[in-house]
Amino acid sequence: MKRILVLLLASMMLFAFVACDDNTPTPAPHEHEFGEWTITKEATCTEEGVKTRTCKGCSETETEAIPAKGHNPDANGKCTACGKMIVSNGADFLKATMNEGEVIISLQDDITIDIAPWPTNDKSVFGTASTTSIVVEGNGHTITFHNTDSDWNAIYTKNEDAVLTIKNATIDNSGYNADGGTWNGHDITFNCNVVLDNVTANNAIAVGMDATIKRSTISDNGGTTSAYMLWIQATCQTVSIEDCTINGKSSITNDNRAIKIADEYIGEPDRKSVTLNVSGTTFSSDSKAAVLVTNTAGATINWGSGNDISGVAADKVNAVWNDSARADAIVKVSGCKVIQEPSA
């Protein structure tokens, strides 16, 4: 009997606890009558917002998405809401870079940009002397750099201190000898400071100034001539590679390589050492080491954590080779081993 009483008391207390959970009285059953929508999060050009309304008879709320507004470009292509340059083709891309200061370009489509050999031609030059930064939001689109001329097609910024950043895009090239490999500049050559972030490069790349390449993949399986996936033109710059895949394998030539630091084609006074930082990067190649240094001024290579060279056909142990003809070059490495390139 005592036990039954205790159980009864306990269940009454539980009931009381549940009933008192909320100080507001439970409203009578009713059909919700919602008030006006209020905006709880404004929609932007590219992101949905949220609106909320509350029932007048209870505290029930309802939310609904507000569609993204879309960009609202003015006559010059600049969105009046977010300030980004809205670009859908190569000609507009070049025009968009001609803004001063920091330029943000939002790609709306795949584009092709004409590239010429020398910076004497506006085809090759991005920005003005007062453009400090060009950020290209690729939005998953492809940028094709079209070689309009013979060798040495390259990308320049009018302001040498400017930085070109390409994010979330695929890059490729077309036109003159586009599949001819890195020799003689048949690749995508950045003769400007460049940042590639989350970029898939379907053609080999050369960099002639500072470069940061992160979360990106470089491969060139379509080349008809063997190529280095990344050709660093040694001009005293710093190149950093983080969390990338350097895929130097070709089913066509079976002779693709990974990275080369070289001073070929550079005038004598400009030949300098290079600092190369590599971390979190997976290498594969048909030939040579993960990194081959051929420039006389050598290089300082900081081999960070998380690199994998097990896919490099010629040398799965030593990350860096010093070119067989450049025994006197000063190649300093930390975190990996350097050996003299074996004579063929």
Residues that bind Zn ion (CB under 5 A): 32, 45, 55, 57-58, 60, 71, 79, 81-82
Pairing mode of beta strands 205-207, 217-219:
unpaired
Nearer to Zn ion, 73 or 117 (CB): 73
Residue type, 81: A
The full 3-state SS of 34-93, as one line of letters, equals ECCCEEEECCCCCCCEEEEEEECCCCCEEEEEECCCCCCECCCCEECCCCCEEECCHHHH
Q: How far is the CB of 107 from Zn ion (least distance, A)?
A: 13
The first and second tokens of residue 168, run together, are: 């979330």
The first and second tokens of residue 174, run together, are: 């077309």
Contact by Cβ (8 Å): 139, 108: yes
Nearer to Zn ion, 35 or 306 (CB): 35
Nearer to Zn ion, 137 or 220 (CB): 137
Q: How far is the CB of 34 from Zn ion (least distance, A)?
A: 8
Rounded-to-integer distance, Cα 179 and Cα 235, Å: 25
Pick from 60, 86, 56, 61: nearest CA to 72: 86
Phi-psi region of 252 (alpha: psi -120 to 50; beta: other; left: phi over 0): alpha
Q: How far is the CB of 71 from Zn ion (least distance, A)?
A: 4
Nearer to Zn ion, 77 or 117 (CB): 77
Contact by Cβ (8 Å): 329, 295: yes
Nearer to Zn ion, 60 or 149 (CB): 60
Rounded-to-integer distance, Cα 173 and Cα 203, Å: 7
Contact by Cβ (8 Å): 276, 239: yes
Q: How far is the CB of 1 from Zn ion (least distance, A)?
A: 46
Nearer to Zn ion, 138 or 248 (CB): 138
Q: How far is the CB of 82 from Zn ion (least distance, A)?
A: 3
Nearer to Zn ion, 70 or 342 (CB): 70
Nearer to Zn ion, 35 or 222 (CB): 35
Based on its alpha-carbon atoms, the radius of gyration of the chain, rounded to whole angstroms, reads: 29
Q: How far is the CB of 119 from Zn ion (least distance, A)?
A: 31
Q: How far is the CB of 52 from Zn ion (least distance, A)?
A: 14
The first and second tokens of residue 336, run together, are: 């990996």
Q: How far is the CB of 30 from Zn ion (least distance, A)?
A: 6
